[in-house]
Structure 1
């Protein structure tokens, strides 16, 4: 698999990072969480706490996710909706 990002992939990731967190709604900039490594188009906008936080984060105890009864697909849906609302379909 080619690890180099295309211009379109870079633009997509920058747009995701500009969005609010798809779990807690904290204003951007956000981090782009890849649901599957290397798939640039399947990313979720997450704040640092909801992404990497030891207690709240996806890569931690996932408490922010559990409180909101969310998984990665729910967060991806929110990310795609916000991308569409912000930059159009």
Structure 2
């Protein structure tokens, strides 16, 4: 199963990125685990210096910006679960 993580402290941008990720999963009709990571120690431990960040299957795909739904769908199209 694909794992999508949104790393951020819970700000409005982080919430928007999380919503975009959920919408992309819904639009593609795929099974994915979409989770929020709000623990600051874990965020810093993963090397994220500018939240929000989007990780797909453990790989950083965006940092410091909010990809729109279509961009996230493109990211997910090439991902193997």
* TM-score normalised by length of structure 2: 0.33
Flag the structure with larger Rg: 1
> Normalized per residue, which structure has more strand?
2
| Higher RCO structure (Cα 8 Å, ≥6 apart) | 2
